[in-house]
Chains A and B, each alone.
Chain A
Amino acid sequence: MITHELIERIEGEAVLDFQTDKSGVVQDAAIRFLHFRGMEAILEGRNALDALVIAPRVCGICGHSHLIAAARMIENAYIDAGFSLTISPKAHAIREITLSCELIQNHIKWLYLVMLHESGKLLAEEPPVALKALYVTSQINQLCALFSGQWPHSSYAIPGGVTCDPTHIEVMQALKILSEVERFVEDEVLGCHAEVFRNHIRDDSLLSLGGDFGKLLRNFERLRLLDTGKSHGRFLVLGESGGSITNSVQSTADIALVSEDCSHTFAEGGVTYAKNALYNGEFYEGGPLARALVSKRDGISTLYQRHGDTALTRITARIEEMVTLIAHVRSLVSSLDLSQPSFIPPSSIESISGEGIGIVEAPRGSLIHRARIERGKIVEYSIITPTQWNLGNGTASNLGIAQKAMIGAESIAKASLIFRTFDVCSVCTTH
């Protein structure tokens, strides 16, 4: 039997086409995205710096990642054109602070608005009140705005640095907000100190945790979903650390092996606007789990060795990343050297003809902005979003990441919940 399921509450919508057997077990699943905005075409022909305003509007929840990707892309084009360009350690750190804030708020919204809500619904329980979480995400976004001016849709990162010139007033405010966020995460999300949480990962005793994260895992246990959701076990991280893949062994990733496959899109007679993103012709999983494994963070690596790429590991990786990032932001804010320049002016954009590539580890995985610039104008722009890696449509012999994870689920409702463990973003996927 074939069922078309509209998936909502995922930053837009997707349609999943499920093929089920007589007992309702999922045999096949295709993922369709039906909205398209043409962001690349909108960028083409414009001044390259306009990308700093246009690109964030790809996505309301991860627009800051798009900003940083666009800024890095232009900076890379400067280098490609033979110009030098310097970013001060302070500007670097500030960008990392604001980008991390975006990831943290994203992960909290995913936990409360999506996962606790949807898993509760499946258990016929009253949806939890997410307001306490939204207050905290508004605080994290405030921390971001202390430097970026606003969230969402800031344009404060520009080739050569950042536009802000913060004082210790912003630094002290940021540290105060961080304390609040840390308290929320320990009291509400984890139900224990961050270190105790890490011990629970190592001891494989996460189900005994008292907070809302523990509640989510127990919901998954009651639904018999914790050990489901296994995919290919191939992971890819292209941003930050320079690019790595891990299969059974880890190796360096080469950006030249990244490709897009349009064979399922409307343009090629298919059923979706989303293009598949492939590495060396294969689907790879991106996102928090990939990042934890590639950077060999011991807790998640141990959990992965025991449970593989199951829902348990994937969900825990996102929460663990949030905890890791909060500590990271604290250390970055605490060690900011405000005497350094925020911005070191590069040559004028009109002098730049070249190709640029900007890669960012966004909330859901590796985000790539590529462009060709001629005398400061964008001639060609191409964006590959994280969800294109995770939510691609393959064939029976070469299944997409989320596709493979859903096949074998006991019901459509359970498969849909597994789909959500990937943190779906429809608006990004089809940009």
Chain B
Amino acid sequence: MPSNPAKLRVIWLQGITCNGNTHSFLNDPSLGTLLDSIELLHHPLLPCAKTLKELVKKLPKSDILIFEGAYSPSFERAGMAMESLLMTLALKTKHIISMGSCASFGGIFKENDPEHISGIVFDKENDSGPLRDMRKKVITLSGCPAHPKWLSFVIEMIKANKPILVDEYRRPRELYAYLVHNGCLRNEYFEWKVDSDHFGTKEGCLFYAQGCQGPFTHGSCNKILWNEVSSKTRSGTPCVGCTEPTFPKRDLFTTKTYMSIPSEMPLGIPKRSYLALAGAAKSFHIKRLEERLIDDHT
């Protein structure tokens, strides 16, 4: 059967990776509809037109190049160094999607060789990656991993020929203008400064002691839920800030405090304003919020 020329030709290429974004992508419940509308020239796991060996032999043109994993110039796929493999495929494509935090900023694997490992456009916060001059055709989907629906959203937008509004790291603003904090079920505890005594309860905010980075991490995790049903904070796990160039920070399960106030403020909130509001909120001791949400399970 001849392939439909209208279908977007997509190459999924991996750098230094754990395959987490690949498996995250496979979780998209409407994967079939998406795959029907594109032609996969290469993918590491899904049936596709070319094996890696064939891809490297004749680096084809494409409409979208999805890059997963961190970049290192000497890292090889099928015997070809990324320096030429990524660069050639990037020059021959119309759009590039930086899939996940490794591809976007260097991520976790950068830690082992900070000098040589980076993202494709950004190296942490600096735009010194190998594709910096092509940044205009790059869309960043940071996250460890990135959500499958973030990716299908970007592909659909490209297909519909609609412009995607991006932030300073070229992340779609419609996805990353939100904070992970937005939509968190524990928001009321945050408002009234009720902290969580410890893990494993429905009550209390994880920002004060457990290290939650939700109030200053960009991401729609609590708007577009994970696996359709949950998120880190909804399962009582603090946000680890995985969409930001600073990921991974250290001491991820503890809130750094200064005079018992979290040292990192919710995004854009001056410390003075925070303190004024927090002091007032804390003084009220709202009984409902200090009790268990559901008395018992019987």
Judged by a CB distance under 8 angstroms, whether B53 is at the interface is yes
Does A260 have its Cβ within 8 Å of any Cβ on chain B? no
- Collect the chain B residues with CB atoms within 8 Å of residue A54's CB: 108, 248
Which 4 A-B residue pairings sit nearest by Cβ, starting from the closest? A343-B200, A149-B235, A60-B19, A342-B200
Total residues of chain B contacting the partner, CB 8 A: 64
Instruction: Write out, one digit per residue, whether chain B residues 26-48 have a CB within 8 A of any chain A CB (1) or not (0).
Output: 11110110010000000011110
Contact A339 B296 (CB under 8 A): yes
A345 at the interface (CB under 8 A from B): yes
Q: At the interface, yes or no: A422 with Cβ under 8 Å from chain B?
A: no
Task: Kindly provide the distance from the CB of A116 to the nearest chain B CB, expressed in whole angstroms.
Answer: 10
List of A residues within 8 angstroms of B145 by Cβ: 60, 152-153
Chain A residues lying within 8 Å of B22, measured Cβ to Cβ, are 60
B228 interface residue per 8 A CB criterion: yes
Given contacts A46-B250, A60-B17, 5 further A-B contacts (CB under 8 A): A47-B253, A154-B232, A154-B235, A161-B200, A162-B200
Q: Which residues of A contact B46 (CB under 8 A)?
A: 113, 130
For the complex, give the distance between the alpha carbons of A167 and B237 in Å. Answer: 16
Q: When chains A and B are docked, how far (Å) is the Cα of A52 from the Cα of B252?
A: 9
Q: Which of B71-79, B129-137, B271-279 contacts A (4 or more CB under 8 A)?
A: B71-79
- Residues from chain B with a CB closer than 8 A to the CB of A343 are 198-201
Contact A9-B198, Cβ < 8 Å, known A152-B20, A153-B145, A156-B237: no
Q: How far does the Cβ of A347 sit from chain B's closest Cβ, in whole Å?
A: 12
Stretch at the interface among B87-95, B109-117, B161-169: B109-117
- Of listed A46, A50, A57, A59, residue having the most chain B CB within 10 A: A57
A165 touches which of B35, B76, B200 (Cβ 8 Å) = B200
Stretch of A35-43, A248-256, A279-287, A412-420 with 4 or more beta carbons under 8 angstroms from chain B: A35-43
Residues of chain B from 62 to 80 with CB closer than 8 A to chain A in the complex: 75-79
**Contacting A37 at CB < 8 Å: which of B16, B47, B229, B235?**
B16
Residue contact B17 to A135, C-beta cutoff 8 Å: no
Residues of B contacting A142 with CB < 8 Å? 27, 227-229
Neighbour of A339 across the interface among B16, B35, B202, B298, CB < 8 A? B298
A35/B19 contact (C-beta < 8 A), A49-B253, A339-B297 known: no
A76 to chain B, nearest CB (A): 18
Known pairs A138-B227, A142-B227, A150-B232; A57 contacts B144 (CB<8 A): yes
Which residue of the partner chain, among B26, B199, B231, contacts A149 with CB atoms under 8 Å?
B231
Contact across chains for B231 and A163 when beta carbons are under 8 A apart: no
Q: Is B199 touching A161 in the complex (CB atoms < 8 A)?
A: yes
B27, B35, B252, B298 — most chain A CB neighbours (10 Å): B27
What residue of chain A has the Cβ atom nearest to residue B221's Cβ?
A150
In the bound complex, CA of A165 to CA of B53 (Å): 47
CB within 8 Å of A: which residues of B? Answer: 14, 16-24, 26-29, 31-32, 35, 44-47, 51-53, 75-79, 108-109, 111-113, 144-145, 198-202, 226-237, 240, 248, 250-254, 294, 296-298
Choice from A117, A150, A163, A338 contacting B199 with Cβ under 8 Å: A163
A117 touching B227 in the complex, CB below 8 Å, given contacts A161-B200, A343-B199: no
Interface status of A11 (Cβ within 8 A of chain B): yes
Instruction: Choose among B18, B226, B294 the residue that contacts A60 (Cβ–Cβ < 8 A).
Output: B18
Check if B230 sits within 8 Å of A145, measured CB to CB: yes
Within 8 Å of chain B (Cβ to Cβ): is A1? no
B200-A150 in contact (CB<8A): no
Query: Which B residue sits closest to A173, measured CB to CB?
Result: B229
In the complex, chain A residues whose CB is within 8 Å of the CB of B230: 145-146, 148-150
User: Given contacts A6-B78, A149-B230, is CB(A138)–CB(B20) below 8 Å?
Assistant: no
A127 CA to B45 CA in the complex, in Å? 13
List, in ascending order, chain A residues with CB within 8 A of B294's CB. 167
Question: Who on chain A is nearest to B206 by CB?
Answer: A163
Q: Quick one: given A57-B18, A138-B227, are A149 and B252 in contact (CB under 8 Å)?
A: no
- What chain A residues lie within 8 Å of B26 (beta carbons)? 109, 134, 137-138
Select which of B20, B198, B236, B298 is within 8 A of A164 by beta carbon: B236
Q: How far is the CA of A321 from the CA of B230 in the complex (A)?
A: 28
> Given contacts A342-B200, A343-B198, A427-B19, are A165 and B236 in contact (CB under 8 A)?
yes
Q: Are A165 and B201 in contact (CB under 8 A)?
A: yes
Question: Contact between A164 and B235 (Cβ–Cβ < 8 Å)?
Answer: yes
- CB-nearest residue of chain A to B233: A149
Check A312 for interface membership: any CB of B closer than 8 A.
Answer: no
Q: Nearest Cβ distance between residue A142 and chain B, in whole angstroms?
A: 4
Contact A37-B112, Cβ < 8 Å, known A149-B235, A154-B235, A156-B236: yes
Whether A147 contacts B199 by the Cβ 8 Å rule is no
Q: Are B199 and A138 in contact (CB under 8 A)?
A: no
State whether B23 touches A61 (Cβ < 8 A): yes
A residues near B53, Cβ cutoff 8 Å: 6, 8
CB atoms of A37 and B109 under 8 A apart: yes
Tell me whether B27 and A151 are in contact (CB under 8 A): yes
Chain A, 132-183, CB within 8 A of any chain B CB = 134-135, 137-138, 141-142, 144-156, 158, 160-165, 167-168, 173
How distant is the Cα of A216 from the Cα of B235 in the complex, in angstroms?
38
The interface residues of chain A lying within 8 Å CB-to-CB of B17 are 12, 60, 427
Bound together, the chains give a CA A156 to CA B206 distance in angstroms of 13
Residues of chain A within 8 A (CB-CB) of B19 are 11-12, 59-61, 427
Bound-complex Cα distance A161 to B18 (A): 26
Any B CB within 8 A of the CB of A210: no
Q: Is the CB of A35 within 8 A of B16?
A: yes
Asked if A131 is at the interface of the complex by the 8 Å CB criterion, the answer is yes
Nearest CB on B from A157, distance (A): 9
Known: A135-B29, A152-B20, A338-B297. A141 touches B108 (CB 8 A): no
B58 to chain A, nearest CB (A): 16
Contact B229 A38 (CB under 8 A): no
Kindly list chain A residues whose C-beta atoms are within 8 Å of the C-beta of B51. 8
The CA-CA distance from A161 to B108 in the complex, in Å, is: 25
Does A341 belong to the interface (CB within 8 Å)?
yes
Q: Are A47 and B27 neighbours in the complex by a CB distance under 8 Å?
A: no
Give every chain B residue within 8 A of A207 (Cβ-Cβ). none
A93 at the interface (CB under 8 A from B): no
Assess whether A186 is interfacial by the CB under 8 Å rule.
no
Supposing A38-B113, A149-B235 touch, asked if A138 and B52 sit within 8 A by C-beta, the answer is no
A106, closest chain B residue (CB):
B23
